[in-house]
Amino acid sequence: GKRMHELIKPLSWLLGKWRGEVGKGKYPTITDFNYVEELEFIHVGQPNIQFSAYSWHPETNKPMHREVGFIRRKPDCDQIAFIIAQNLGICEIEEGTFTESEIKVESRSLGRLTFGSDPATKKVTRHFKRDGDTLEQILYMETVNTPMTEHLRITYKKV
Ligand code: HEM
């Protein structure tokens, strides 16, 4: 592989492929659901991490939510940013902080299609936590109808 950029080294705990089984989705306005998701975080020697998150239905294998993007960090501090494009037509910049095992980010700008479906998402927060060979992600969101509430919770194993 490519030589790892100095700025990426403190985030090397995130790199690689992660498989999440039976993620739990919920929201006050919808029926609870299960999902499977695969995450991949790669670097090509640049000061950024490229990532993808592909989810599918556990029984039918039908593709569900998909997102791709990049992670950047501000040099010499613990600030981190996610730049994310989602298949359902949302595009987000999320910013926050990281440690040697956790990332906490919240959306700072959220782009939406003029013909996007309702309800519009107003804010998203994500919490990643690595513990040994597992990675957990918890996602909260706010829509025009519902205050900040948990939408997703999933634990991944390193593939
Ligand atoms: C529903 C946003 C990630 C699966 C929704 C709704 C919104 C939303 C706004 C409608 C809520 C309502 O009607 O009040 C988002 C955002 C995500 C995200 C912003 C990421 C940042 C995911 C992921 C999955 C997923 C990863 C996994 C498969 C679903 C499902 C529904 C739903 C199954 C219910 C659809 C329905 O009943 O019509 N999501 N979502 N979402 N989301 Fe997500």
The protein residue with its alpha carbon nearest to ligand 1, atom 37, reads 30
3-state SS, 94-135, equals: EEEEECCCEEEEEEEEEEECCCCCCCCEEEEEEEEEEECCEE
Mutate to test the pocket of ligand 1, among 21, 26, 30 (most ligand atoms within 8 A of CB): 30
Q: Which of 48, 69, 35 is nearest to 5 (CA)?
A: 48
Distance in Å, CA 51 to ligand 1 centroid? 20
C-alpha torsion angle, residues 116, 91, 105, 73 (rounded to 10)? 180
ipTM, interface predicted TM-score of the complex: 0.95
* pTM reported for the whole predicted model: 0.96
User: What pLDDT is stored for residue 3 in this prediction?
Assistant: 87
Q: 78 CB contacts (<8 Å, ≥6 apart)?
A: 97, 98, 99
**Cα–Cα dist 153/140, whole Å:** 9
> What is the reported pLDDT for 145?
98
* Amino acid 117: pLDDT: 94
pLDDT in tens, the chain (159 residues): 578 999 999 999 999 999 998 999 999 999 999 999 999 999 999 999 999 999 999 999 999 999 999 999 999 999 999 999 999 999 999 999 999 999 999 999 999 999 999 999 999 999 999 999 999 999 999 999 999 999 999 999 999
Q: How far is the CA of 115 from the centre of ligand 1 (A)?
A: 17
Instruction: Pick the atom of ligand 1 nearest to 90's CA.
Output: 19
Residue 9 alpha carbon to ligand 1 centre in Å: 33
